[in-house]
Chain A
Amino acid sequence: MTEERNSKTLPIALIGLIGAFLTTCGGIGSALVTSAVTVYQMERQQQQVALPASQSNQKLKVDTSSIFITRQEAADLDPASYYTNLERAFVLHRPLLGWEKMEEMTVREQLAEENIPCQTVCDQPVYRIRNGEPIEVESDRTTTINGHLIPDEILKLSETLYGPPPWKTPYYNQVIVNVFEKSEVEAFGMRTLPDMILFNMRFTAGRVNRIVARVNSHFAIIQLSSTYENIRADGQPATMTVDNWVLFSETDRAFYTVDIRYSPQSGQSIQVWDDLQTYIDQFRVIQ
């Protein structure tokens, strides 16, 4: 009777041992999985940058892990959806439904649209996609930006360029890609990516909310907001906010800026915002 009981106890103990072994493996395994997930999460969070505008819930997200692609990857992209410029080494999503066709011009031509004479980097290329009709904004000496009067030097410049106030300026929701060949812009003090950022951000006057520029990352993102008061928009007294996100990047040969400009308007489709997010999501620099 006792022998029989003992002979049953041993298999039970072995089963218990297997159970303990499985528990151990399970514990270690789940610790490893949890750890791997945490590391993955941390790494992804480090790569994904979401920058909200100052008075808005809308965050423009940029996945900085995928900004750079190879020539082969670029060549494999569907040309119906993507504009791939192998010479300038970048990829931009083609205009989405409701957007104007992409315009190619030079910095000189772009500035000439606003009567501004070009002084530096005039022949560098510009690629622009705009959405629908612009908002015609009239400003004058009483107009404020982010609660402050426009600085005198800017007022004087406006008078020189456009004559006496009111000044009319069209505002578009748009994406603009600038490519600056390093060999062309070095002479103007743009030697490094930080130089490039500083050159482009000279006249921001209280508008920069955030800069993200990580160590050795070859990119930076800047978010700016401007709230204009004492203006007329499409002929009506108005207050208007314009949000900008600017992505700066570089290769050995060139600097790139992608400028997203968005002005939320009542009655405007949320699709415009989603489309801008698509343009920045799909922008690639070919390395």
Chain B
Amino acid sequence: MNRTKWKQVSAGQLAVIGLIGTILTVCGGITGAVIGGFTTIYKVERQAQQFGIAAPDSNLPLTVDTYQIHISSSEAGKLDPTQFQVLTDLGVVTAQPASGWQDGGALLYQDLFLEEAVNLSPLILFSKWIEFSWNDQPVRQIRYTDPVMVQYLEGTTENGIPVDPTLLDTDTIAFYSQFTTLALSKELVKPVFTLYELALAWGGMHLGGVNELIANPDSPYVFEQVSWELKGVALDGRKTDLTLQRWALFAESSDRYYIVEVQFVPAPDQPKQVWDDLQAYLKAFRVIEDK
């Protein structure tokens, strides 16, 4: 009797001990996996190199994930065409224009000079160095259709420089929030500019208003944020100041450089959606590259 009891007790104890051992091993495995998982997440987050740059005095950061800028042509082909457009002439993917926006269609660099009574893209200032050599380079521009009409007055300054309204063709100019992509043949550009020098030159056009210049060590992209200040202008007949915000992303493929210029024109009654749409365009932007 005693012997049977002893057997039962010791067998039960042994089973419990075995169970505890198993539980400990399982817990150890799970904890190890959790720690490993968090480490991997941390690594991925660090490598993702996602950063957002807000304009000064603004809560609106424009975010770009420089780790995911490239996409293969087969991946591009699988994208939902109701949301994305694959621009084969530029070798990029962008978002379809949202409601209230207009796609300017296939443009050339020279077309950027031809608009009248419109605030021209600073991309045209590259002509100081390259004259007419970029004229046939492809451009795509998505523009919010409702511009902010800015009237230049006597005493108006643009980034601190006085503007004489009498020298303008018209004293009222349309400023558009817009998303502009310029694709440049490397062969054409390289004698004068490297990728980084395109960024330095574009930033240099805004000297005194450059708020951020970001270039991560493991990512061959540059991201810049600048402000463009108009003082003493009139909006809807009221004298005021207006600060445009611009961001530019500089990227490359094996044969092209890309300048993606985002311009946001804040206006008192403008829907917040304008800003969200610009963010969506930049988020959707991809360079098509088959390795």
Contact = CB atoms under 8 A, between A and B. Distances in A.
Interface residues on B, range: 35 or more
A168 interface: no
A161 interface: no
B200 interface: yes
A220 B212 CA distance: 11
- For A2, A21, A24, A201, the residue with the greatest tally of chain B CB atoms inside 10 Å of its CB is A24
Given A13-B18, A46-B46, A211-B199, A194 B212 contact: yes
A34 B31 CA distance: 13
B194 A148 contact: no
B133 interface: no
Contacts of B14: 9-10, 13
A194 B217 CA distance: 17
A46 B10 CA distance: 58
B208 interface: yes
Contacts of B200: 197-198, 201-202, 204, 208, 211
B211 A212 contact: no
What secondary structure prevails in chain B residues at the interface with A? helix
Contacts of A159: none
A2 B207 contact: no
Interface residues of A, number: 54
B215 A211 contact: yes
A184 interface: no
Contact of B216 (A6, A190, A204, A214): A214
A46 B17 CA distance: 47
A27 B3 contact: no
Interface in B152-200: 190-194, 196-197, 199-200
B194 A209 contact: yes
B197 A206 contact: yes
Contacts of A214: 214, 216-217
Interface in B33-67: 35-36, 38-39, 42-43, 46, 51, 53
Contacts of B214: 213-215
B28 interface: yes
A210 B196 contact: yes
Given A31-B35, A209-B196, A212-B216, A16 B21 contact: yes
B17 A212 contact: no
Interface centre among A2, A9, A148, A201 (most CB of B within 10 A): A201
A81 interface: no
B32 A202 contact: no
Given A27-B32, A192-B210, A211-B215, A20 B39 contact: no
Nearest to B217: A212
B208 to A, nearest CB: 4
A206 B25 contact: no
A195 B3 contact: no
Contacts of B17: 13-14, 16-17
Nearest to B7: A6
A10 B10 contact: yes
B210 A198 contact: yes
Contact of B28 (A28, A35, A49, A148): A28
10 contacts: A2-B7, A6-B10, A13-B14, A14-B17, A31-B31, A49-B217, A205-B197, A211-B196, A211-B222, A213-B213
Interface of A: 2-3, 6, 9-10, 13-14, 16-17, 20-21, 23-25, 27-28, 30-32, 34-35, 38-39, 42, 46, 49, 147-148, 189-195, 197-199, 201-202, 204-215, 220, 222
Give 8 closest A-B pairs by Cβ, nearest first: A24-B28, A189-B208, A20-B21, A194-B213, A31-B32, A194-B210, A211-B215, A31-B35
Interface of B: 3, 6-7, 10, 13-14, 17-18, 20-22, 24-25, 27-29, 31-32, 35-36, 38-39, 42-43, 46, 51, 53, 190-194, 196-197, 199-200, 203-204, 207-217, 222, 224
Given A31-B36, A46-B217, 19 more contacts: A2-B3, A3-B6, A13-B17, A27-B28, A27-B31, A31-B31, A38-B39, A42-B46, A46-B46, A147-B191, A189-B208, A195-B207, A197-B203, A198-B204, A205-B192, A206-B190, A211-B196, A212-B215, A212-B216
